[in-house]
Amino acid sequence: AGAVIRIKNFAHPISVARKVLEEIPHLMLSGKGAELFARLMGFREISPNEQYANTDDREIEKLPEDYREFVRKYSKLLAEQRTFSTVGAVAIDSKGHIVAGTSTGGIAHAFPGRVGDTPIIGAGTFASRSAGASATGLGEGILRVSVTRKLVELVEGGQAVQEACDRVVEICSERGFQCGVIALDAEGNAGLSHNGFFMPTMYSRFD
């Protein structure tokens, strides 16, 4: 696995994450180290205006002196959030190798420095020899449940991939947060489930 967090001014952080997977023994790089690694790998830097990010250093400067007021206000907005911008993919090749990838701009109304579920292996993204999964929704909830790891373990335990998707989303609903998942098992069967928000999905098969 490979992941990067807090990386700025690169157009496709997930491509840098893939290089982490391929090139170094670590699983995750963050901040300036991730940016240095991206440069070393030959990725092109873009200007801040060309990228999309919900919370950046400019917002840190805007933080009110009474940060508790900020946290109260934004915690409420965070819990009410209903739109998610994460992009996820799960694929299996003809040899049965399963991969999953997830990339996000994060969420709105987050405290600067917040890390969501997306780059955390087993939370927003997970793949084993048996199944792979990608999640979207409220990161704070997805992290607590370890949604994609749980989903894959359910498949490993004998559940059909669609049932496993439904089960993890049911757990998220019981806990009161929004979540959506896509998944594939080792036979290429696809599953998807989400609890009620707009989540466009696509499935393709190339024989």
* Residues in 75-94 that interact with ligand ASP by CB under 6 A: 84-86
Question: Radius of gyration of the chain from Cα atoms?
Answer: 18
In whole angstroms, how far apart are CA 202 and each of 48, 87, 111, 155, 194?
Answer: 31, 12, 32, 21, 14
149 binds ligand ASP (CB under 6 A): no
Q: How far is the CB of 94 from ligand ASP (least distance, A)?
A: 30
- Pick the closer one to ligand ASP by CB: 86 or 159: 86
The minimum distance between CB 155 and ligand ASP, in angstroms, equals: 21
CB of 78 to ligand ASP, least distance (A): 9
Q: Which residue spans within 78-178 are E strands per DSSP? A: 87-92, 98-103, 125-127, 131-137
Label residue 49 exposed, middle or buried (CB < 10 Å: 0-12, 13-18, 19+): exposed
Q: Could you count the other beta carbons within 10 Å of the beta carbon of residue 168? A: 28
Q: Which is nearer to ligand ASP, 3 or 159 (CB)?
A: 3
- The gap between the terminal CA atoms of the chain, to the nearest Å, is 27
Q: Is 86 a catalytic residue?
A: yes
Q: Which is nearer to ligand ASP, 2 or 139 (CB)?
A: 139
Q: Which of 101, 137, 151, 182 binds ligand ASP (CB under 6 A)?
A: 137
| Residue of 86, 118, 136, 148 marked active site | 86
What residues numbered 95-124 form the site for ligand ASP, per CB under 6 A?
104, 106-107, 116-118, 124
Residue 116 Cβ vs ligand ASP, minimum distance, rounded to whole Å:
3
Nearer to ligand ASP, 2 or 159 (CB): 2
CB–CB of 141/177 below 8 Å? yes
Among 13, 101, 122, 139, binds ligand ASP (CB under 6 A): 139
Burial class (CB in 10 A: 0-12, 13-18, 19+), 103: buried
Per the CB < 8 A criterion, the answer to whether 151 and 181 are in contact is: yes
Identify which of residues 124 and 191 has a Cβ nearer to ligand ASP in the complex. Answer: 124
Q: Compute how many other C-beta atoms are within 10 angstroms of the C-beta atom of residue 1.
A: 15
Binding residues for ligand ASP, rule: CB under 6 A, are: 84-86, 104, 106-107, 116-118, 124, 136-139, 142
Task: List active site positions.
Answer: 86
